[in-house]
């Protein structure tokens, strides 16, 4: 089954600060902030929410289709996706713009400061979910991941019009939407996934409780970092344990890896406890590697890791 992944395709420039931000940012001087960090480690990675989610879903054996807008410099990234067997048929190239770029600095506590240039991503509303329905491969599920404001709104409405269930993933797009926007997304979506902080903002802006959000969708998923996740579905709350990481190297893209696991579990009809656990495992595999797309394992090895963590096989 194909999954249509609407979101950003971006280059991530990731820098490592060998210190702690809290030792250099003084709370009582935040109004006149002017700091500089020496970052001896720097690398460039393929990133963006759509690319990251597609990578993990493909690793699990899914069939991701990426829908995004990119710029004149996207050639190497698009070829890389094709080499992985990920469809780029609905990635639109805008030659007058650059591909979105994220500049991420991570400290020793895994705190991050990010500057983001949206570039071609700002034009993501030019792409339409309806375009993906014209071929012979109708997506069974979709996700609206962080992207431009108009692109996310358009794609959510288009999924609903096409009667394709989709996940609403607020993520870094949180500042773009007010309460009315968020209520509309939830009303249109089949699933909503957020982290702890995003959940608090979403509930505050919508003036809804967790139970009210869960009642409007098939599942409301909240991640808690090293404390696992909660899935509110079928009138129940499922506590999903975290999978201890072999090592903690880089949190960039962990949420996207989790969402790749969610998509796989949903589209394959796994129960919520197994789906959540698989998603949790994907996050643990990701955090043990540098960059958002360097945690590839065979499906057999993923199955072994899952069995080792939970005592049974998911497939």
Instruction: Please write the tens of the pLDDT for every residue from 104-146.
Output: 898 988 788 888 899 999 999 999 999 998 866 789 999 999 9
The residues with which 201 forms a beta bridge, in sequence order, are none
CATH architecture of structural domain 2-11+46-101+125-310: 3-Layer(aba) Sandwich (3.40)
Exposure of 30 by Cβ count < 10 A (0-12 exposed, 13-18 middle, 19+ buried)?
exposed
Q: Which two tokens stand for residue 76?
A: 């190497």
Q: What is the mean pLDDT of residues 205-218?
A: 97
Q: Are 142 and 5 in contact (CB under 8 A)?
A: yes
pLDDT at 106: 85
pLDDT band at 1 (very low <50, low <70, confident <90, very high): confident
Q: Whole-model pTM?
A: 0.91
Q: Is 236 helix (H, G, I), strand (E, B) or coil?
A: strand
A 10 A CB-CB count for 215 gives 12
- Rounded to whole angstroms, the Cα distance separating 282 from 288 reads 10
Q: Are 191 and 203 in contact (CB under 8 A)?
A: no
pLDDT at 209: 96
- Rounded to whole angstroms, the Cα distance separating 254 from 260 reads 10
pLDDT band at 251 (very low <50, low <70, confident <90, very high): confident
Give the start-to-end residue ranges of the domains of the chain. Answer: 2-11+46-101+125-310
The residues with which 52 forms a beta bridge, in sequence order, are none
- Sequence length of the chain is 315
Q: In what order do the strands lie in the sheet with 87-94?
A: 87-94, 63-71, 2-6, 141-144, 166-169, 191-195, 219-223, 229-233, 236-240
Q: What is the mean pLDDT of residues 210-214?
A: 96
Q: Are 200 and 182 in contact (CB under 8 A)?
A: no
């Amino acid at each position: 089954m194909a999954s249509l992944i609407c979101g950003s395709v971006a280059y991530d420039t990731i820098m490592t600060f060998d210190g702690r931000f809290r030792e250099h940012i003084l709370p009582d001087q935040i109004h006149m902030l002017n700091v500089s960090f020496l970052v001896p480690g720097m690398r460039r990675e393929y990133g963006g929410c759509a690319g990251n989610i597609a990578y993990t879903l493909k690793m699990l054996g899914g069939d991701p289709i990426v829908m995004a807008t990119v710029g004149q410099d996207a050639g190497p990234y698009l070829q890389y996706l094709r080499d992985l067997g990920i469809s780029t048929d609905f990635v639109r190239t805008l030659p007058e713009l650059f591909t979105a770029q994220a500049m991420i600095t991570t400290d020793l506590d895994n705190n991050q400061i990010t500057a983001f240039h949206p570039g071609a991503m700002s034009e993501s509303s030019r792409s339409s979910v309806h375009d993906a329905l014209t071929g012979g491969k109708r997506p069974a599920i979709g996700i609206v991941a962080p992207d431009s404001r108009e692109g996310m709104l358009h794609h959510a409405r288009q999924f609903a019009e096409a009667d394709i269930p989709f996940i609403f993933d607020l993520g870094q797009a949180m500042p773009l939407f007010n309460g009315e926007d968020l209520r509309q997304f939830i009303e249109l979506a089949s699933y909503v996934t957020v982290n702890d902080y995003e959940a608090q903002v979403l509930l505050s802006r919508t003036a809804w409780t967790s139970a009210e959000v869960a009642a409007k969708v098939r599942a409301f998923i909240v991640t808690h970092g090293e404390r696992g996740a909660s899935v509110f579905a079928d009138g129940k709350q499922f506590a999903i344990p975290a999978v201890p990481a072999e090592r903690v190297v880089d949190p960039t893209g962990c949420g996207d890896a989790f969402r790749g696991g969610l998509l796989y579990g949903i589209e394959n009809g796994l129960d919520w406890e197994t789906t959540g656990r698989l998603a949790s495992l994907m996050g643990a595999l990701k955090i043990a590697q540098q960059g958002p797309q360097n945690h590839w394992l065979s499906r057999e090895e993923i199955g072994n890791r899952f069995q080792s963590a939970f005592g049974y096989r998911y497939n």
